[in-house]
Structure 1
Amino acid sequence: MIKLLTDEQLVIQLNESNKRAFGEIYDRYWYKLFCIAYHQIGTREEAEELVHDLFESLWNRRDQSNIRHLSSYLVLSMKHLITNFIKSKITWRKYKEHILLQKMQEASITDNDVEFTDLSQALDAALKKLPEKTSKIFQLSRFENQSVKDIAKELNLSEKAVEYHITRSLKILKDHLWIYHTPN
């Protein structure tokens, strides 16, 4: 008997909390709403969930709704749910991308720290292999930024001797630290 009712009559009975009227609305419109959602979302499970959410909302707000055209109301409600669903997916994806980017940056910083530590240790080891005077001249030149003239004066050497020690230390360090060389 309920199947013979018009949409308007079903809405009136729905407002009166008639579960059979709700069931008839569900039977009439479930597939249409599912097709709309599935076409927009692309997954069966999510489309079914949206249809379920729409009918749950329809039942929960049955006494508050002022529905004039049931079919139009349901289709517009579904489109509204789909829009919100897509927005939430976009927001969630942006959030996940942000977290992923943050983790990549943290990993990069950690990798850089490890590489710097490794390079520092390798440099210290290589400097220990240099003769004491050559190592001292290299450190004054490169780490303390002293000029060849100042180093020569401080160590009582000729400028040529200081240049020789710097050149020699650079060659030895280059040979020992070749693994850290980048083509840049």
Structure 2
Amino acid sequence: MSNQTLISTAEFERIYEKWNRKVYQYALSKTSSTYIAEETVQRVFIKLWNNIFQKKVHVEIEAQLFCIARTTLLDIVKEERKRQDLLHLKVETDQVPTPSELYRLKELNERYEDIVSRMPESRRKVFMMSRFENLTYKEIAERLSITPKTVENHIALALKVLKKMFVFIIHLFF
């Protein structure tokens, strides 16, 4: 099968049938989580389909599958870790906030939104894709047709500004 041409749906289904269990086993062996393994399989084959559809397939399917599987698995594990951290934080902070705490949080959120809105458009776009769409630097770079290093620089500059803002606000409020 030539990897330089688009493949048919039937061919893709054959690839899926041949490899989905191996991708699942790979993810399961790394995480011991059936949820993460299933999610990995779904995302890997969606990305593979998109790569084939966009004619980005330049290597053998097996090599591409496991390269995609590795990066996808890392992304999912990071997402899960963030989700678990947020759940843990919620459990610790299930107390009802006081009106003054609510006011401080509202003020902090308004300042945060104001600073993000003042960022140059490209930096704001990169920052939002990273933080709210949970995209990797590589995915952002591909979407915006820029280099991953440019994405990294935009994120670093955005975080630098936000860090200064938070340090200022912490001193102001506390």
TM-score (norm 2): 0.49
Bigger radius of gyration among the two: 1
TM-score by length of 1: 0.46
